[in-house]
């Protein structure tokens, strides 16, 4: 859970040309998402949302339904 989601963990998603990345931190938000990772995405011109996993899934689905080119990384447990 620490150091958490790193820029290298997002490379495959970024290569798909997404405009937004939703990161789910787990059911109890135990997974860390460092500010450096968020900054990395923003410097790539990608919007980023960091949420509790259930909320992240809802947000991902809503964005996808709106036609946003969205990618997601979801921690499914703690």
What are the backbone dihedrals phi and psi of residue 51, each rounded to the nearest 5 degrees, phi first?
-140, 165
In angstroms, rounded to a whole number, what is the distance separating the alpha carbons of residues 76 and 52?
A: 10
The string of pLDDT tens digits covering residues 4-56 is 999 999 999 999 999 999 999 999 999 999 999 999 999 999 999 999 999 99
The string of pLDDT tens digits covering residues 54-71 is 999 999 999 999 999 999
Return the domain boundaries, the chain.
Answer: 7-74
The pLDDT of residue 25 is 96
The pLDDT of residue 78 is 79
Q: CATH second-level architecture of 7-74?
A: 3-Layer(aba) Sandwich (3.40)
Whole-model pTM: value is 0.94
The pLDDT of residue 5 is 95
What are the backbone dihedrals phi and psi of residue 25, each rounded to the nearest 5 degrees, phi first?
-90, 5
In angstroms, rounded to a whole number, what is the distance separating the alpha carbons of residues 60 and 66?
A: 10
């Amino acid at each position: 859970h620490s150091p958490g989601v790193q820029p290298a963990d997002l490379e495959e998603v970024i290569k798909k040309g997404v405009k937004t990345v939703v990161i789910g931190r787990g059911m109890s938000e135990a997974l860390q998402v460092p500010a450096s990772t968020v900054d990395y995405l923003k410097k790539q011109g990608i919007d980023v949302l960091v949420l509790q996993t259930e909320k992240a899934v809802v947000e991902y689905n809503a964005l996808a339904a709106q036609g946003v080119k969205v990618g997601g990384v979801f921690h499914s447990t703690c």
